[in-house]
Structure 1
Amino acid sequence: MINPQANPWFRWNCSVCWVTLGLVLLTILSFWTLDLQLGRLFSVDSAKRMGRFLGELLSPDLRAIFLHKLWIAGLETLAMSAVGTILAAFFGLLLAIPASKSHANDPAHWRFLCRLVLNGLRSIPELVWAALILISAGLGPFAGTLALALHTTGVLGRLFSESIENAPQGAAQALRVQGASESQVFLYATLPTIIPQLMSYTLYRWENNIRAAAVLGVVGGGGLGQMLAFHMGLFQMQETSSILIAIILLVVLVDTMSYVAQRLMSR
């Protein structure tokens, strides 16, 4: 008679069952700990308040003086995201080169140190960076730009290092055989093959930074987000509606620009 417990498939199924049971118990415990009151969320009073709130949002503020302020804040948000992304791409590439494993002559301690820096920058969200920088830099777009640059440097540095490691090594090995230095190998063999991928990563992060720049205004990072936090705090729904529309239009604009740029690079 075959012992089912000796069957690897049976043991694997048992492991899956235990893991699934554990996840279900954790989910139930999470709902119980959070004390979610779904009845209040779907009550008649909540529906009335939400309807009144949405009704106020459907009438945006279109005064010329407010639209002018909105235009200035939108340009500020766009500049914050662009400058933060450019700085992050530059410093991310500088850290990605020694952090990658493609250079056999690079000391291991430099690789470990650069990866540690990238992990540290990436693990701290933009909002936390902005809150820390506000202590020394004060309110305004400067703190928001630095927060975007620091976090995005960690993200792009990790992506860039993986691109460098996965780049084709045929041309690089040929240059090494000819006696070229590692810097020459990177400039003339590795970099030309990965530029489209680096640009794609950078444009993608620029799209994300537009959204993040709008959120950073909540902690005083400047731009549309700061206007949004101010008017929402005063429950001025007409102005809030105009700001939300401006953020959506700005995100659509950057997405379109990124798409066109990627299509041009792929030709």
Structure 2
Amino acid sequence: MQDNNMPAPPALLSPLKLGLSAGIMLLVIASFVSLNMEWRALFSDDAAGKTWEFLQGFAPPDISPALLTKTALASFETLAMSALGTLIAAILGLFLALPASGRFGQAAKSSTRLFLNVARAIPELVWASIMLIAAGLGPFAGTIALAAHTTGVLGRLFAEVLENAPPQAESTLRLNGASAVNAFLYATLPQSLPQMLSYTLYRWENNIRAAAILGVVGAGGLGQMLKYHLSLFQMQTAATVIIAMLILVAMVDALSFAMRRWLMH
């Protein structure tokens, strides 16, 4: 007699899965072969000695009052660039997420998603280079560059959240005579808002790092200070700027993590 409680034998992998696994494995092997990595040179005694000698030039950091004041102002500029760029992107991303989620037809969905793909496919450094030509040096160009790239990211994420939101609450309001706008504002948006805010805070963390990098191309903030002092081989002053970057990123990471936990609970 056959025992119905016996576990079923494990299913064999389909040919499609086997083909995909083999393709990924071949791609990984080809990557290692084509990159021609010099692991022996990286971990040689000569490389370690030169790296240690280079790092010694950063010690001790310059803690003169004038430099600390200048670094604090640049840190605030970097923080403001990232916060304002993320805020602009969150607002634009929400408006673009409505057509991107299919609420205005397939044509609007396809065209909006194409625009969002282009916006996020262009790196922040490229956006900053374009904005520097249009607006000149300074934090304004960096802020717009962050906003342009982040709009593409948040717009796509917000659209996915709206598409995956349970439709029952909005459908119930529509059946009871509510308009499409009111049904969205009182049903779908409140359900989606915590996840949208979580995505926005996470992108703010990323934009802090990106804002520091954008300063290298003249967009202001700590990155511009770092580029200037490194180009003059003022390593101890550059060390102070790097420490300020680390502190700023750690503070924003901790604040964003605490806010995300508060929103989710």
Question: How high is the TM-score relative to the length of structure 2?
Answer: 0.88
Q: Trace 1:45-194 onto structure 2 (pairs within 5 A).
A: 45-101=46-102, 103=103, 106-194=104-192
| 1:90/1:14 CA distance change after superposition, 3 Å | closer
Is 41-50 or 206-215 further displaced after alignment?
41-50
Q: Counterpart in 2 of 1:215? A: 213
Separation in 2 of the partners of 1:10 and 1:199? 40
Q: Which amino acid aligns with 2:264?
A: S
Aligned equivalents of 1:92, 1:10: Cα separation in 2? 40
Aligned length: 254
In the alignment, which residue of structure 1 is the partner of 2:43?
42
State the AA in 2 paired with 1:214: A
Question: What residue in structure 1 maps to residue 202 of structure 2?
Answer: 204
CA offsets 1:206-225 (integer angstroms, 9 cap, x no match): 00000110111111111001
Quote how far apart the aligned CAs of 1:114 are.
1.1
Please list every run of 5 or more consecutive structure 1 residues that lacks an aligned counterpart in the other structure: 1-7
- Relative to the length of structure 1, the TM-score reads 0.88
The alpha-carbon distance between structure 1 residues 13 and 93, as it changes in their structure 2 partners (threshold 3 A), is closer
How many percent identity over aligned positions?
Answer: 51
**Structure 1 stretch displaced more, 36-45 or 118-127:** 36-45
| TM superposition outliers: structure 1 runs of 4+ over 3 Å | 8-18, 36-45
Q: Deviations over 1:109-133 (max 9, x none)?
A: 1111111111110111111111111
Q: Say if 1:21 and 1:48 are closer, same or farther in 2 by CA, change over 3 A.
A: closer
**What's the counterpart of residue 224 of structure 2?**
226
C-alpha distance in structure 2 between counterparts of 1:134 and 1:151, whole Å = 15
* Residues in 2 aligned to 1:97 and 1:15: alpha-carbon distance in whole angstroms: 38
Q: Partner amino acid for 1:22?
A: L
Mapped to 2, the partners of 1:93 and 1:61 lie a distance apart of: 44
Q: State the AA in 1 paired with 2:136.
A: G
Q: 1:179 deviation in Å? A: 3.0
For structure 2, which runs of at least 5 residues remain unmatched after alignment?
1-11
Query: Which of the residues 23, 31, 42 maps onto 1:19?
Result: 23
What amino acid is the match of 1:54?
A: L
Tell which deviates more after alignment, 199-208 or 130-139.
130-139
* Residue type at the aligned position of 1:247: M
